[in-house]
Amino acid sequence: MTPCFTRFAAIDWSGAKGARHKGIAVALCEAGRAVPRLVEAPDGVWSRTGVADWLVGIAGEAPTLFGFDFSFAPPFVARGGYLPGDAVPDNGPDFWTYVDAICEDVDLGAASLLEVAHRRHFYFGKADGVKAGYMHNRACEAHYLAGGGGKPSTVYDAIGAAQVAKASFAGMRLLHRVRGDVPVWPFDPLPAHGSLIVEIYTSLAASAAGRAKGRAKMRDAVALNDALERIGSERHEGAMPDDHGADAIVTAAWMRAVARQDALWTPAPLDRQIAATEGWTFGVI
């Protein structure tokens, strides 16, 4: 049964070091066509713990679909383990618990896992050898690539502006903190009612909104409103948000537009092993 949500939240995430992160943006919308609104952080700039507290605080108010743009787990199926050769758990929720336990970084950060605790698994530059040796993908990412969706990032690539490694492991700490209050799909089954957390690609939402590959970012009001109109949302009024805010606004509107599509909750390759270990990105079929 497809779940029924009445609110939709998209969170553009950040794995940066520190306690406040200008790269985090939160957009929220209700059912209908009203444009998603950006949610202001309590202290002006979001922290990761602030996002966790906000999520838990509103999840019980109405059935809300929360989308986060980080990888919920490293690849497992193709390699037989998250960090082959190291003694770590073999399922997503237990791995999140492990990550949270070994990271003492401020504000749910996880840089120490990459830089110290499991350094040999991550590519930081030429000194680590051939980069191709680190480019492992989850089943979902391989399926997305094979279907022409574009080349996804891997959590083992820790260099460059496009890397998702630090954001993803920081996100796993958040998942550990909030899962007792809100289930996480597909590691947890779809709830009959209530709120749910899913993994998203903001670029997938941008593509659905008519943005061409390589031009997913919307940096002016014309581009933002064209994208919103294409997915059935009213236009954004007022000051143009930064690119993080624009990504979150469009993605929240897209989640609202597609959340009732049964096929998105039952992708053919998603089996029990993948669901328990790697998870799946909502919208990839």
Give the whole-angstrom CA distance, residue 222 versus residue 164. Answer: 28
pLDDT value at 64 more than 90: yes
Terminal alpha carbon distance of the chain: 17
Choice between 238 and 8, residue whose per-residue pLDDT is larger:
8
Strands in 37-38's sheet, in edge-to-edge order, are 37-38, 25-30, 7-12, 64-68, 196-199
Choice between 152 and 113, residue whose per-residue pLDDT is larger:
113
Choice between 209 and 202, residue whose per-residue pLDDT is larger:
202
Residue 159 confidence class, pLDDT cut points 50, 70, 90: confident
Choice between 145 and 110, residue whose per-residue pLDDT is larger:
110
Give the contacts of 146 (CB within 8 A, at least 6 positions apart): none
Question: In the prediction, which pLDDT does 167 show?
Answer: 95
Question: In the prediction, which pLDDT does 1 show?
Answer: 61
pLDDT value at 216 more than 70: no
Kindly state the average pLDDT of the residues 92-101: 98
pLDDT value at 247 more than 80: yes
Strand segments (E) across 143-252: 196-199
